[in-house]
Amino acid sequence: MRVALYQCPPLPLEPAANLQRLHRLAMEARGADLLVLPEMFLSGYNIGKEAVSTLAEVHNGEWAQQIGRIAKAAGLAILYGYPERTADGQIYNAVQLIDAQGERLCNYRKTHLFGDLDRSMFSPGEGDFPIVELNGWKLGFLICYDLEFPENARRLALAGAELILAPTANMIPFDFVADVTVRSRAFENQCYVAYANYCGHEGDIHYCGQSSIAAPDGSRIAQAGLDEALIVGELDRQLMVDSRAANRYLHDRRPELYDALNKR
């Protein structure tokens, strides 16, 4: 499976412009099976509570319908970040996967909110960690800060995830997350991790770029620098099989020793 990541500066408060940008990009990425966009791609991330409340949409709203049409026209699946409004009035930092036929496959809500910025705008997701299949690969989902908790990636790996998709809005001075943590999560869980970040700045936030696809052996199969880029990597199932045979972290776990972790 060929996976494309789009690293870009945000266009805050401009969903229509972001949809136009996505349409152009999806056509450029034709030949890939999946296109992954950054966290809160449609609205921008650092936009404040009032703007998030104004822009938030239901998961099957007009944005989803437009992206479904884009995905179908380009012949690829799209994972995008957006502010989701639910029937009970909650607003979540969410990502949604739409397949190449334009059908919604999965909606995931960020469970671990980062600092006052996230907490002022969103409710935390309740801990649903779905696994869905796309083109014969099992996919799991995390958003930005979620990936920095090793328990989240391990939970997905134990549920069968072969590729963890992580749209993000990671900023300076946390460059080491993009450089080190992404590869660590891939290696320790023996799966691929695709990390799609912003570059440039948004208000007082300066994003660190360095989007990448990390392989189960800890290598990178695609990596962006600090500027806008569309990168593509091809997942190799045999590499994953060989890496899992050589590095038996999942097999050698002793979960009976870890009970105390859930009691603190």
**Residue 251 DSSP code:** H
Give the CA distances from residue 8 to residues 34, 37, 142, 150, 162, in Å, rounded to whole numbers and listed in that order.
17, 9, 19, 27, 26
The secondary structure of residue 255, as a DSSP letter, is G
Asked if the model's pLDDT at residue 19 lies above 80, the reply is yes
Give the pLDDT band of residue 264 (cuts 50, 70, 90): low
Backbone φ and ψ for 164, nearest 5 degrees, come out as -105, 125
Mean pLDDT of 77-94: 98
Beta-sheet pairing, 205-206 with 201-202: antiparallel
Reading the block at residue 98, the tokens are 């739409």
* DSSP tag of 261: G
**Rounded to the nearest 5 degrees, what angle is found at the Cα of 223, between the Cα atoms of 158 and 10?**
95
* Interval 183-219: pLDDT, tens: 999 999 999 999 999 999 999 999 999 999 999 999 9
Predicted confidence (pLDDT) at residue 253 exceeds the cutoff of 90: yes
Give CA–CA dist 113/150, Å, rounded: 15
Per-residue pLDDT of 115-132, as tens digits, reads 999 999 999 999 889 999
- H/E run at residue 78: strand 77-85
Residue type present at position 169? A
Strand-pairing partners, residue 30, are 32
Q: Work out the average pLDDT over 37-47.
A: 99
Domain total of the chain: 1
Q: The pTM is what?
A: 0.97
Question: With b meaning 16 or more CB within 10 Å and e meaning fewer, what string describes 152-178?
Answer: bbbbbbeeebbbbbbbbbbbeebeebb
**pLDDT band with cut points at 50, 70 and 90 for residue 9:** very high
Q: CA neighbours within 13 Å on the CB side: how many for 122?
A: 23
User: E strands of 120-198, at which residues?
Assistant: 132-134, 137-141, 163-167, 192-196
Share of the chain above pLDDT 70, in %: 100
> In a 10 Å sphere around its CB, with 0-12 CB exposed, 13-18 middle and 19+ buried, how is residue 6 labelled?
buried
Residues forming the active site:
39, 110, 144
Rounded Cα distance, 141 and 83, in Å? 16
Q: Look up the domain containing 165 and give its range.
A: 2-263
Domain with residue 123: its CATH number is 3.60.110.10
Give the torsion through C-alpha atoms of 2, 4, 175, 258, to 10 deg.
Answer: -50
pLDDT for position 260? 84
C-alpha distances in angstroms, 245 versus 123, 156, 217, 222, 250? 40, 19, 11, 23, 10
| The pLDDT value given to residue 133 | 98
pLDDT band at 64 (very low <50, low <70, confident <90, very high): very high
Structure confidence at residue 263 (pLDDT): 74
